[in-house]
Amino acid sequence: MEQPVNDLFERKTAIRKQAHENRRQQQEKDAVSERIVRRFMDLPEYEKAGTVMFYVDVRDEVRTRQALPEALASGKRIVVPYCLDGELELFWLENMDELELGMYRILEPKVELRDVAAKRLTPTNLDLVMVPGVAFDRKGGRTGHGKGYYDKLLQHARKDAPLIALSFECQLFEEIPAESHDIFMDKVVTEDAVYVGKGRS
């Protein structure tokens, strides 16, 4: 039986608020993030993938930018997202110099490079998608900031491209209330474990 929309909204809002606070209080973010990202890069899905999307961390998210130079040197095609007019666009990153601080001090592809045809990719180009989020559960349930940017992007990812979330353990909850449009992760990687999610049916 579906939960009333208002109840579901309130529960998600409460979870987001608690997760933000938990994440803010996370100790040793750099060291813990390195463990999480290393676990991600040691996965067989990463080993197998030719084109991988990395998110570039903002605020208190699991930090990923320290791993980008190693990823760029791996021979894989590394893709980063950026927001344009309420949508996430994808950029083929070949060098850290192609990034600069944009709005809200977020590291983004330089504006003058975004219209280079070879740099623009689509979700169907991705073999593996690294997904950020505000809160998760161990079944792969996820909630973001509520704007739906990643929901839209992930709807267009290939079914054979795993969706793998990075999370601090403190961002995990018993259950994330799910709506019909919500997409479950294939795996959630934390500093302690790799949880296998329900994925997309």
DSSP 43: S
Q: What share of the chain is helix, strand, coil (3-state, %, to 5)?
A: 35, 20, 40
Tokens coding 94: 């070949």
What's the pLDDT tens digit per position in 45-67?
999 999 999 999 999 999 999 99
For the chain, how big is the Rg over CA atoms in Å?
16
> Domains in the chain, please, with CATH?
5-196 (3.40.50.10420)
pLDDT tens, 143-183? 998 778 898 899 999 999 999 999 999 999 999 998 887 89
